[in-house]
Chain A
Amino acid sequence: MTTPSSRYDAIIVGGGHNGLVAAAYLARAGRKTLVLERRPLVGGAAVSEEIFPGFTFSVFSYVVSLLRPEIIRDLHLPRHGLQILPLESTVTPLDNGDYLASWPDADANRRELARHSPRDAEAAVQFGRLMHHMAMAVRPILGMVPPDPASLAPSDLAALLKLGKHFRGLGSERFHALYKLMTMSSADYLDEWYEFDPLKATKAASGIIGTMMGPRSPGSAYVLLHHYMGEIDGAFRAWGFQKGGTGGISNAIASSARAFGAEIRTNATVERVLVKGGRVTGVALANGDEISARVVVSGLDPRRTFLDLVERSEIPDDVVQGIERYKFRGSSGKVNLALSGLPSFTCMPGPGPHMRGAFSISPSLDYLERAYDDAKYGEFSRNPYMDIVIPSMIDPGMAPPGKHVMSIFVQYAPYHLNGGWTDAKREAFGDTVVKTLSRYAPNIESLILHRQVLSPADVERITGLSEGNIFGGELALHQLFFLRPVPQWARYRTPIRGYWQCGAGTHPGGGIMGASGRLAALEIVNGR
């Protein structure tokens, strides 16, 4: 019950990594901050759980590269347990029994590429340079509160001016390259550079992750850049694992937030955000408790933030419409396997350093595109794209001795499945994944001790992410920057005074990046 002493400066709804980052920054600025998390553990989609006795999984999000370096620095995350182990290689098994690998060593990498296409090996150097420039061009935008181009407020005009200056500073050539990257399909974009199809497919795969697009869908090239960002500008310049699983990242942020004085309550479901006279007053919990606060920050996705947590009457109709047409369309599933031993891939049999990296089931652009075609019409892919890692190879603590955990990210598993997701459909999906994998690693079936299959409907049920979209809404051009989640409300504010948003449904969007949480917190601190 409300007592004056329990009044907070800020309540964060949802203890996902963005909510935790926001809490840490607010606490650091001296705000009395409370995080309320529905589940028994913090992290949202970045959690580690012992799903089967002795086997710990990064249940949803499984690798990290985008976490902003300034967040790691500001929140002293290494001191709180952040420990990223590099994911060193990617192996793409090919249909002819060969493989395409990328290695951490530049020379080895070039030799490997040249084995398939000397031209591509050369192009890769230039391509890498261009992507570096593109990432640098985007970097300031990722760290910027989106201006509202329709506003005439001095701060917006100043921000627009700054943005214009930034683009002019890039010079025509880079600006044009960036424009292409924003508008093209990843397949078309890569076609301009490379000839070896499995290479294009493996690169294009990062352009379709989490999105209801195929490699030939215009707009997918941007998602490619979004993922490339981490490799270039992330703190680790590569994809990596958190020791103990992705939940360790969330725990580190939570620990930092607590150290700054934030309070975190789990098993605390927020039922409603309380509003009086157009101004937030606090939250009501499912157990009937009410907690008052001057500021409430939602780390949930836009649908939940605008439509579920507050009365519709509090939100103007055009904003409601805007949120209703905001696209989620979760398209990915996850299969977590507990294995009695190491699988062996036909293209590279037996153990070896490659087992510490990723396996990408992306033999050709057509393969990925056909996987998308299935999903477009409401079926999961008969031959899905899969990104596979074996975290226990890097952190043996995640499985009992000699045993392993395998994480399989699967695309496409459309949320809007014909007939809806049922237990039978989920298992059929799991079977398809295992069967597809066994074409490349025939002994996999005999190693499976336990299997957890997560459809987008499961992701939604467990994490609360609408339609199971891992990015808190599609990363499509019409849902980015000053359009995310809707024009006019893309600056972390909402039409309700004191009610803010800080989830991945705001600029700059998904992945374990933390940028939304940080920018929202800074806006709150500076904006009042």
Chain B
Amino acid sequence: MSVSFDVIVIGAGSNGLVAATALAQSGRQVLLLERANVAGGKSRVIEFAPGYRAPSLGIEGGWLPPPIAHGIRLELPGMKGPRIAASVAGVDGTMVHLPQDPSSAAEQIRRHSPRDAARWMGFTARIAKLAGFLEALYLLPPPDLDMRSLADVPGLLGLAKKFRGLGRADMTELLRVMPMPVQDLLDDEFESDALKAIIGATAIRDLRQGPRSGGTSFGLLHWLAGAPAGSVRARGAWRDRPDALTVALETAARKAGVTIRYSAAVANILIRDDAVTGVAITGGEEITAPIVVSTADPARTMALVDPVWLDPEFMRAMQNIRYRGCTSIVHYALDRLPEMAGSPDGVDALSGIVSLSPTLDALERAADAAKYGTIPHAPHIEISIPTLRWPSLAPAGKHVLVARVQYAPWHLRDGHFWDGATASALGRTVTQAIERVIPFSHSAVSVMTPARIEDEYALTQGSITHGELMLDQILFMRPVAGSGRYAMPVDGLYLGGSGAHPGPGVLGGAGWLASRRVLADAKRSPGGWR
């Protein structure tokens, strides 16, 4: 017991970095522990083949709410949205491009459906408005039934009103839209299959659900919170390098005085008399601190706690969290660009996202297989060539292609499991599917299965989102009812990862709110700062 800190933060992803920085800036001695040898968590850049690197679990940059950046005095790195936010390969093989700019997008859509084109601006404005409500909601702890959190509600409404001019009727509309299947939302609006398919794909991201599942409209709004106005897809990406935000956050953390240790996996959270006393690191070293903020997922966090300190009801609720990872990522090393990149549209499309699912039914059928614990014959695949934005990820003149694949259920049934053979088979399926639309040749391939994601990123069941982002697992229900406001039922233990409100994709959101809670509790406790 040689070292001691005021706060230990577990995990150096965006949430951990934000939480650590915020706490250090308010005068605490903060230690940040990361099991990997670099920061970045889910968005760290990996070398999947010699000389070929790629952003690991996501292509898009995500959204760090500006008030949080302001709160930790972080200068956000520059972003650059692709000209074409998303493209989709239509049923007949033709490519439908959706430029980021709504009026150019409407122009493109007009070729397929004048009716849809006429509705486009209205639809994107409406979606932006509703997503804007979530933006406000994501800056505050989730309101719950108790008086203390209900006191936040007027503030919340005020925020929504101030930010987006949202009124009561918009709130009714939000309540109507959130539980809807995204397919219903889109069928009510559009007739073009390809258009519906590309929007629908945003909504089912990392869910083991198809577009006919209730609540997927919420998914759409969630992933569009913080997106540029008019976008139905991308939040844009960092301009200079895929991990520009991680670099900026790490710099900010160090500047604030955070001690960062890499390759330091936490083995236990130490507890005495219902209160945290520190952590033990793999290898046996113990570090003392009265406060631990974990940004690991809820299951991983609770696995660090001796269950004698936990209430059985709480444990049961934690065990009932649905993780159900179902995303797989395939990285390809390319000797040259595919032919499609020959045209300006092709280049712009492939530096954004190209979905290979031409219809909502294609998405739904892919999800059907996963319901029964099998890998679909025709999975939903989205590809991107990040080297078109960041050439330094590959040797000069070479390229990297990333394919995000759904649905690859973590839990395979009927005696199947994720091993080398299953992974290769999935890789072959994905390669063939891409080749049918965009002929390409590759020199190396790496399949990141849900099982690998679980192992390498410490994500339970390979769930990139720290638990399925469905209506019953958001807001005050995230991670579980009654513990939705960051403090876990052990004194001094806080959850500040994507498994807490506001969840994945809102970079630093949970970390920031958890740090606010830590500071508020310190003010409340009789001895001031413990």
Spell out A's residues near B (CB within 8 Å).
148-152, 167-168, 170-173, 175-177, 179-180, 183-184, 188, 192, 213, 216-219, 325, 327, 366, 369, 373, 376-377, 476-478, 482-483, 487
Contact present for B471 and A218 (CB under 8 Å): yes
CB-defined contacts of B482 to chain A, threshold 8 Å? 172-173, 176
15 extra A-B contacts, CB within 8 A, seeds A192-B320, A217-B213: A149-B172, A149-B175, A172-B144, A173-B481, A175-B145, A177-B481, A179-B477, A188-B322, A219-B179, A219-B214, A325-B188, A373-B368, A377-B361, A478-B176, A487-B173
Could you tell me the distance in whole angstroms from the C-beta of B358 to the nearest C-beta in chain A? 15
Spell out B's residues near A (CB within 8 Å).
144-146, 167-169, 171-173, 175-180, 184, 188, 209, 212-215, 320, 322, 361, 364, 368, 371-372, 470-472, 476-477, 481-482
Query: For the complex, what is the distance from the CA of A26 to the CA of B322, rounded to whole Å?
Result: 50
Contact present for A180 and B477 (CB under 8 Å): yes
Could you tell me the distance in whole angstroms from the C-beta of A188 to the nearest C-beta in chain B? 7
Contact present for A183 and B320 (CB under 8 Å): no
Query: For the complex, what is the distance from the CA of A482 to the CA of B176, rounded to whole Å?
Result: 9
Query: For the complex, what is the distance from the CA of A476 to the CA of B167, rounded to whole Å?
Result: 25
Given contacts A176-B482, A192-B320, contact A217 B214 (CB under 8 A): yes
Query: For the complex, what is the distance from the CA of A148 to the CA of B179, rounded to whole Å?
Result: 18
A contacts with B: majority SS: helix
Closest to A480 in B: B179
Query: For the complex, what is the distance from the CA of A175 to the CA of B179, rounded to whole Å?
Result: 18
25 contacts between A and B (CB under 8 A): A149-B172, A150-B172, A168-B145, A172-B145, A173-B482, A176-B145, A176-B477, A180-B477, A180-B481, A183-B472, A184-B470, A192-B320, A213-B214, A216-B371, A217-B213, A218-B179, A218-B213, A218-B214, A376-B212, A376-B364, A476-B179, A478-B178, A478-B179, A483-B176, A487-B176
Contact present for A183 and B146 (CB under 8 Å): no
Closest to B146 in A: A172
Closest to A479 in B: B176
Contact present for A483 and B175 (CB under 8 Å): yes
Closest to B475 in A: A179
Contact present for A369 and B371 (CB under 8 Å): yes
Could you tell me the distance in whole angstroms from the C-beta of A216 to the nearest C-beta in chain B? 6
Given contacts A218-B215, A218-B472, A477-B214, contact A176 B481 (CB under 8 A): yes
CB-defined contacts of A219 to chain B, threshold 8 Å? 179, 214-215
Contact present for A183 and B471 (CB under 8 Å): yes
Could you tell me the distance in whole angstroms from the C-beta of A285 to the nearest C-beta in chain B? 34
Closest to B476 in A: A176
Closest to A181 in B: B472
Could you tell me the distance in whole angstroms from the C-beta of B167 to the nearest C-beta in chain A? 8
CB-defined contacts of A377 to chain B, threshold 8 Å? 361
Contact present for B179 and A477 (CB under 8 Å): yes
Instruction: Report which of A150, A176, A483 forms a contact with B168, defined as CB distance below 8 A.
Output: A150
CB-defined contacts of A477 to chain B, threshold 8 Å? 179, 214
Contact present for A183 and B145 (CB under 8 Å): no
Query: For the complex, what is the distance from the CA of A425 to the CA of B525, rounded to whole Å?
Result: 71
CB-defined contacts of B177 to chain A, threshold 8 Å? 478
Query: For the complex, what is the distance from the CA of A149 to the CA of B171, rounded to whole Å?
Result: 8
Closest to A219 in B: B214
CB-defined contacts of B172 to chain A, threshold 8 Å? 148-150, 482-483, 487
Contact present for A184 and B472 (CB under 8 Å): yes
Query: For the complex, what is the distance from the CA of A219 to the CA of B217, rounded to whole Å?
Result: 13
Instruction: Report which of B168, B209, B470 forms a contact with A149, defined as CB distance below 8 A.
Output: B168
Query: For the complex, what is the distance from the CA of A216 to the CA of B210, rounded to whole Å?
Result: 11
Given contacts A172-B482, A179-B472, A218-B471, contact A476 B214 (CB under 8 A): yes
Query: For the complex, what is the distance from the CA of A457 to the CA of B292, rounded to whole Å?
Result: 61
Instruction: Report which of B179, B361, B368, B476 forms a contact with A183, defined as CB distance below 8 A.
Output: B179
Query: For the complex, what is the distance from the CA of A440 to the CA of B213, rounded to whole Å?
Result: 32
CB-defined contacts of A148 to chain B, threshold 8 Å? 172
Contact present for A327 and B184 (CB under 8 Å): yes
Instruction: Report which of B173, B176, B188, B470 forms a contact with A218, defined as CB distance below 8 A.
Output: B470
Given contacts A218-B214, A325-B188, contact A167 B145 (CB under 8 A): yes
Query: For the complex, what is the distance from the CA of A121 to the CA of B215, rounded to whole Å?
Result: 32
Interface centre among B145, B168, B477, B482 (most CB of A within 10 A): B145
Closest to A167 in B: B145
Closest to A189 in B: B472
Query: For the complex, what is the distance from the CA of A171 to the CA of B146, rounded to whole Å?
Result: 8
Contact present for A218 and B175 (CB under 8 Å): no
